Amino acid sequence: MAVAEHQMTLAEKVSAMIEEQELTRDEVLGYLRQMMEIRALENQIAEFLGKAVLKGASHLYAGQEAVAVGAVGAIETTDLITSTHRGHGHGHAHGDKVAQTPELKQEHYNKMMAEVLGKATGYCKGKGGSMHIADVLHGNLGATGIVGGNIAVATGAALAEKMKGSGKVVICFFGDGAVNEGSFHESLNMASIWDLPVVFVCENNMYGMSVPWATVTKLPDAAARACAYGIPGEVVDGMDVLAVRGAVKKAVDRARRGEGPTLVECKTYRYYGHSHSDPRAYRTKEEEAAWKARDPINALRDGLISIGWLTEAEFDKMDETVQAKLETAVQFAQASPEPSPDELTTDVFAPAKFTQADYDTDRRLRAAIRENPSQFKQVTYAQAIADALREEMIRDERVFCLGEDIGLYGGAYGATRGLYAEFGKWRVLDTPISEASIAGAAVGAAMAGMRPVSEIMYVDFTPLAMDQLANQGAKNRYMFGGKTAVPMVVRTEGGAGRAIAAHHSQSLESLWTHFPGIYVVMPSTPYDARGLLKAAIRDDNPVMFIEHKMLYKEKGPVPDEDYIIPFGVADIKRAGRDITLVTYSRMVYRALEAADILAKEGIDVEVIDLRTLKPLDLETVVSSVKKTGRLVGVTESYENTSFINEVMMQVNEAAFDYLDAPMVRVASANVPVPRAEILEDLAIPNTGRIVAACRKVIS
């Protein structure tokens, strides 16, 4: 068969693929036009880079056009894609397919060029630029500048489409460098075990940045790795648009039938370097010439001429049309305004949905609990979490949970107990131990319209998911010009107290308050846990919801009525006039104990529970400081760069003139949390240390 195919003429090969795929002349000419438009765009960008008209990094796609056009040609306009830093081709092929008229196609081309130049009229209002073009509203979930960063996102989007029963398929583009990333392996495994409708398209252009493919693996083909996950892997000529389309179409049909993912490896070549500054010293001119002799545009042109579907004159006319279209796009982009300075801080977070009634209800319930807690049922912290999850899953079918041991086991601390039996495995998903793919899947599912609540068992493990949460979930809305929302929650737990040493006892909240685009919530009581988790699930932003391992058995009054607690509202757990004591999570209890001790000495301490660190209720803290003139901050996180330091800095800026004494902080020692109980107790704040700090500011 291989010999027979080798002996086929060009016309016979092209005719066979067209007939096999049942393609029309207009469809194939459309593929040729799209490849020409991508090439024209890339050459123009290269010219801009050479003249320093364009600043920043831009990774050109020239040479690889057949992959984007062929793969996108195999899907429907309602299907989804995720892209990479070398994503102009994917963005154009998908946007051109979605655009149904010549006018819309030109508008799409204009927006592509404008975004590359960082203009306000670009797809992402100039906030994403060359590496982050997205049209989320039409199914392009965006490009990422992190190698392999989009693979888990695509997996999550596919999970969402499977759960919705939409019949949609997700195409995930990435380069050969990504197959050595952990996210590649975690995501393929997750997609495989759940038979998700996703096609992984590896564009193997033979070089990661400068290092050749052959030096980073013993396998000649990336597709060979698919067998490890029990899914098909296919290698295809990435310089042949019809061959790519045929392979991807087979994989798409398989995914749409519910048979799961496929890894399609397209052997291709980038004509330019990794970036504009790349001298390409690692490859020879002979190698480049050999690949350019197989140019995908020329190959399709010659094939169509050979079967009589195109003439030289028609091709020349098409080229003129493409150049005119490019010129229009360039003129549009260059004439477009720069983003307004007012846009600097927009699009970081989706707008809050809290109503005045939500604020009033929280205020009323807190007052009632303080005045007569016995009128409410006593509920454990863990049960309050489970109740919130259950209520929101009943209220909104888009809400689902995923994480390690949350299903049959009911969660490491029992906070999801009973949910699996009530809602089933597709609403309470037990995942592999794969923190990056858990987080990334939540990002993708959220972007595709679901409201995932993922669980990372310990906050110590969240750095394993750093890229997916901080670079994808938290930044997508801003990078994509506010055109998307990422309504997801990451439940995790932190803190010391169980003598389980340095890898299971940290308080890493300041790590997460650092990143724009993600909220951080740390409830201390069952009442707060239930109301804040319900609010987090309903919010349209990523939320890091950090519980404390020593609070799960803590009981407290919780009303029967449905309520949510708006973000950015601190709770004065104890009113006082002499000292403002600011804290959160488990340290609220130690602070209240300290306040009781100090009250016997005639020192009246006001204890403020922040409840949410981002957004921070600075107003309540400042108002208290203006009354007391003194502030003590308490945190269980490391003293070095803890979040309480940020609170104190903001108080210094807003209320310095009201301070009657230097502010004092009580934090954990700057050492890994020790296993020995005697050392652990010394490492973290206790009631005595808080009392001593308060005496210091009052003396």
**Beta-bridge mates of residue 140:** 81, 135
Sign of torsion, CA 182 184 186 189? negative
Q: For residue 105, give both structure tokens.
A: 């196609």
The Cα–Cα gap between 61 and 42 comes to 7
b/e map 127-162, b = 16+ CB within 10 Å = bbbbbbbbbbebbbbbbbbbbbbbbbbbbbbbbbbb
In 368-411, DSSP assigns E strands to 377-380, 399-403
Choose, from 90, 108, 504, 548, the residue flagged as catalytic: 504
The CB-based long-range contact list for 4-13 (8 Å cut-off, 24+ gap) reads 9/306, 10/302, 10/303, 10/306, 11/303, 11/306, 11/307, 13/303
Q: Exposure of 513 by Cβ count < 10 A (0-12 exposed, 13-18 middle, 19+ buried)?
A: middle
β-partners of residue 634 are 666
Cβ contacts of residue 566 below 8 Å, gap of 6+?
352, 354, 358, 359, 362, 535
Question: If you ran DSSP here, which 8-state letter would residue 674 be given?
Answer: P
Q: Cα–Cα distance between 532 and 376 in angstroms, integer?
A: 18
Q: Phi first, then psi: what are they for 561, rounded to 5°?
A: -70, 155
How many Å separate Cα 134 from the centre of its chain? 14
Secondary structure class of 135 (helix, strand, coil): strand
Element (H, E) at 599: helix 587-599
Say whether 6 is catalytic.
no
The Cα angle at residue 318 between residues 315 and 320, in degrees rounded to 5: 115
> Which of 137, 152, 180, 574 is CA-nearest to residue 370?
574
Exposure string for 427-444, b = 16+ CB within 10 A, e = fewer: bbbebeebbbbbbbbbbb
How is residue 343 annotated by DSSP?
A: G
* Cβ atoms of 244 and 35 closer than 8 Å: no
Query: If you ran DSSP here, which 8-state letter would residue 373 be given?
Result: G
Rounded to whole angstroms, the Cα distance separating 216 from 599 reads 66
Enter the tokens of residue 439: 């987080």
Asked if residue 146 lies in contact with residue 113, where contact means CB atoms within 8 angstroms, the answer is: no
Residue 16 CA: distances (Å) to CA of 11, 252, 277, 310: 8, 20, 42, 17
C-beta neighbour count of 82 within 10 angstroms? 31
Collect all residues with Cβ–Cβ distance below 8 Å to 53 and sequence separation of at least 6: 47, 117
The H-or-E segment that residue 39 falls in is helix 25-50
Query: How would you classify the pairing of strands 571-574 and 605-609?
Result: antiparallel
For CA atoms 94, 98, 102, 107, give the dihedral sign: negative
- Is the previous residue joined to 559 through a cis bond, with omega within 30 degrees of 0? no
Q: Give the integer Cα–Cα distance in Å for 458 and 433.
A: 12
Torsion on CA atoms 574, 576, 579, 584, rounded to nearest 10 = 10
The residues carrying an active-site annotation are 504
